[in-house]
C-alpha cells in the first residue's frame, strides 16, 4: 500500500496549513479559564472551520458534506493536531448515526445545523456498571403514547456540559436478549428532568460528565431507526469514532516527542542510555500507531467499513500516549511537582492514565479483538 499523498491531497494540505495559520486561535489554553469560556471557544472554532469549508469533508454530498475520501479528514486532523488547535466537535461520527439510520425529516432538521455548529452534540452510551458491558445499560425509556419517558444515568459523557443534544442509548424492552432491547434517542440536553454534572478527572479538569434523567419526556419522532435497533446504531458510531481523528493525535505526539528530545539536550541527558532507550521506545510505539492508522485509513478509502480490528489502534494510542508522558515526567523531574515546570508535565501524565478508559477500556478492546477478530471463545 502506498501511503504517500497524491497531488490533490498535497494541495489540500497546503491550503489547510495556510488557513490554520491565519485562523486558528492562539493562546487559547491560557485564555479559557472557565467552562463557559471553553464552550464558547469550541462553538466559535467549529463555525470558523465550517466557514472555511473544513467541516463534513467525507460526509456524502446529499447530506451537506463534500463527498471526499477519509484521507482528507486525516489531513485536516493532522494539521490541526500539529498546530495544537482546540478540539473539533463530535459531529463527524455522531452525524453518521443520523444520516445512516435517521428519517428524512431528521436528516433535514439536524444535519445542516450539525455541520454549521449551531447544535453541539455528545454521546450518551456508557453508564455506571455498563461501560465494559455496554449492552447491559439500564437507563430505561418507557413508551407512553407519542413520547418516551426516560429515567436513569449516563456516565463518562465527554462534552455534555457544552452540548445541546445527545445521541443516547436507552433500554426500551427488558424482555428480550439485552442487545435487542436497546433503542437510540436524539435527546435535547435542556429539557426538564436532565441534570448534567462535570466529572473532574485525575488532573482536576472536567473532561467528561455524568447525566441524570428523571422522567424526561422525549418525542417518539426523536428515535433513530426502529425500536430495538440501538445496538446496531451504536456499533456504527463506535466504529467511526476512531480512524482519521487519530491522525491529529499522532501529530501532537510527534511534536511532543521532538520537544522532549530538545529537553533531553538542554538537561544534559541526551546521552543517558536509559533516556535514549525511552525516546526510542516512544518513537517506535508512535510509529506503530501511525502505520496502523494509515492501514485502516487506506482500507476505508477502498470502501471497507471500519471493523473490530480498529481496537488495535485504540490500544496503541493508549500505549503511545502513556509512554510519551512517562518520559516527559522523567525528563522534567521534581519541577513537575513543585510548580517550577510551565509545561504541565504532571497534569499531562495524569491525563494519560485516564485515556485507557476513553472509547472503551483497554480490557474491552482486548475482548473485542479476542472474540471478533481472533474468534476465541468468551470466558
The three-state (H, E, C) secondary structure of 209-267, written as one string = EEEEEEEEEEEHHHEECCCCCHHHHHHHHHHHHCCHHHHHHHHHHHHHHHHHHHHHHHC
- For 71, residues 6+ apart whose C-beta sits below 8 A from its C-beta are 5, 9, 244, 297, 301
Write down the residue that cell numbers 469549508 correspond to: 53
> What one-character-per-residue DSSP string does 270-285 give?
TT-HHHHHHHHHHHHH
- Beta-bridged to residue 147, according to DSSP, are 144, 219
Q: Which helix (H) or strand (E) holds 344?
A: none
Write down the residue that cell numbers 504541565 correspond to: 344
CB 35 within 8 A of CB 74: no
Q: Is 241 a catalytic residue?
A: yes
Distances (CA, A) of 341 to 159, 283, 329: 28, 24, 10
Report which of 212, 227, 98, 209 is spatially closest to residue 158, judged by C-alpha positions.
209
| Beta carbons within 10 angstroms of residue 274's beta carbon | 9
Rg of the chain on CA atoms, in Å? 21
Max distance between CA atoms of the chain, in angstroms, equals: 72
- For 368, residues 6+ apart whose C-beta sits below 8 A from its C-beta are 308, 311, 360
Report which of 92, 25, 18 is spatially closest to residue 247, judged by C-alpha positions.
92
- Beta-bridged to residue 154, according to DSSP, are 211
CB 317 within 8 A of CB 286: no
Instruction: Choose the catalytic residue: 241, 321, 328, 330.
Output: 241
**Helices and strands in the chain, H and E counts:** 13, 8
Vertex 90: Cα angle to 86 and 94 (nearest 5): 170
What are the residue numbers of the active site? 241
Amino acid at each position: 500500500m502506498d501511503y504517500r499523498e497524491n497531488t490533490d491531497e498535497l494541495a489540500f494540505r497546503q491550503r489547510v496549513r495556510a488557513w490554520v495559520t491565519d485562523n486558528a486561535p492562539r493562546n487559547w489554553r491560557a485564555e479559557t479559564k472557565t467552562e463557559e469560556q471553553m464552550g464558547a471557544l469550541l462553538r466559535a472554532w467549529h463555525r470558523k472551520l465550517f466557514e472555511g469549508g473544513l467541516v463534513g469533508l467525507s460526509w456524502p454530498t446529499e447530506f451537506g458534506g463534500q463527498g471526499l475520501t477519509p484521507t482528507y479528514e486525516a489531513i485536516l486532523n493532522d494539521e490541526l493536531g500539529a498546530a495544537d488547535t482546540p478540539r473539533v466537535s463530535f459531529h463527524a461520527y455522531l452525524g453518521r448515526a443520523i444520516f445512516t439510520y435517521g428519517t428524512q425529516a431528521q436528516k433535514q432538521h439536524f444535519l445542516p445545523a450539525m455541520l454549521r455548529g449551531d447544535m453541539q452534540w455528545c454521546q450518551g452510551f456508557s453508564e455506571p456498571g455498563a461501560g465494559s458491558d455496554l449492552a447491559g445499560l439500564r437507563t430505561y425509556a418507557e413508551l407512553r403514547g407519542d413520547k418516551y419517558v426516560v429515567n436513569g444515568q449516563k456516565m463518562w459523557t465527554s462534552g455534555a456540559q457544552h452540548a445541546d443534544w445527545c445521541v443516547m442509548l436507552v433500554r426500551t424492552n427488558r424482555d428480550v436478549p439485552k442487545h435487542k432491547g436497546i433503542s437510540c434517542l436524539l435527546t435535547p440536553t435542556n429539557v426538564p428532568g436532565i441534570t448534567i454534572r462535570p466529572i473532574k478527572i485525575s488532573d482536576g479538569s472536567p473532561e467528561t460528565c455524568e447525566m441524570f434523567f428523571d422522567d424526561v419526556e422525549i418525542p417518539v419522532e426523536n428515535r433513530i431507526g426502529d425500536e430495538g435497533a440501538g445496538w446496531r446504531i451504536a456499533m456504527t458510531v463506535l466504529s467511526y469514532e476512531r480512524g482519521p481523528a487519530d491522525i491529529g493525535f499522532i501529530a501532537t505526539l510527534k511534536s511532543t516527542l521532538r520537544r522532549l528530545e530538545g529537553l533531553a539536550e538542554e538537561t544534559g541527558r541526551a546521552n543517558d542510555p536509559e533516556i535514549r532507550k525511552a525516546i526510542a521506545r516512544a518513537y517506535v510505539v508512535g510509529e506503530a500507531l501511525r502505520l496502523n492508522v494509515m492501514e485502516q485509513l487506506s482500507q476505508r478509502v477502498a470502501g471497507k467499513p471500519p471493523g473490530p480490528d480498529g481496537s488495535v489502534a485504540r490500544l496503541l494510542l493508549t500505549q503511545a500516549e502513556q509512554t510519551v508522558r512517562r518520559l516527559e515526567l522523567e525528563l522534567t523531574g521534581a519541577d513537575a511537582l513543585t510548580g517550577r515546570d510551565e509545561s504541565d508535565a504532571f497534569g499531562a501524565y495524569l491525563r494519560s492514565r485516564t485515556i485507557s478508559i476513553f472509547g472503551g477500556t483497554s480490557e474491552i478492546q482486548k475482548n473485542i479483538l479476542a472474540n471478533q477478530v481472533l474468534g476465541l471463545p468468551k470466558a
